[in-house]
């Protein structure tokens, strides 16, 4: 079994209701990006908290690579934290077709 370095950062608690659904939809869009991407967004129902995490295989975990990845994750986490604090959705992750006209994926909610 390969060892893996796990980097994780809590992002915050999404407000209940439609906003929570929209931010979770945005997280699905973010998680669907092709590699390389800056982490995976996870949601804990029990803690009502979004998390950003990344796994780095042991053989790729040299100090310089880890430091670069942490800087990228820090930028990504800041964007999500600001969105959560402001009740917005990061514009890069609004589901395609989710505007006022066109199809609405993930249950029909507009961004």
Widest CA span of the chain, in angstroms? Answer: 49
Pick the CATH number of 4-91 from 3.40.50.620, 3.30.1460.10, 3.40.50.300, 3.90.420.10: 3.30.1460.10
Give tens-digit pLDDT for 39-62. 999 999 999 999 999 998 888 888
Task: Give pLDDT, residue 41.
Answer: 95
**pLDDT score of 104:** 40
Distance CA 14, CA 43 (A): 10
pLDDT for res 86: 92
Q: In what order do the strands lie in the sheet with 40-44?
A: 4-12, 49-57, 40-44
Question: Is 0.85 surpassed by the pTM of this model?
Answer: no
pLDDT over threshold 70, residue 4: yes
**Per-residue confidence (pLDDT) for residue 58, from 0 to 100:** 86
């Amino acid at each position: 079994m390969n060892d893996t370095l796990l980097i994780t950062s809590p992002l915050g608690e999404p407000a209940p209701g439609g906003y929570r659904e929209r931010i979770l939809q945005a997280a699905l869009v973010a998680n669907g990006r092709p590699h390389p991407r800056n982490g995976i967004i996870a949601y804990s129902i029990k803690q009502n908290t979004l998390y950003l995490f990344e796994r780095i295989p042991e053989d790729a975990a040299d100090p310089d690579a880890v430091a670069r990845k942490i800087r990228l994750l820090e930028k990504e986490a800041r964007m999500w934290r600001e969105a959560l604090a402001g009740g917005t959705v990061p514009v890069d992750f609004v589901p395609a077709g989710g505007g006022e006209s066109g199809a609405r994926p993930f249950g029909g909610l507009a961004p």
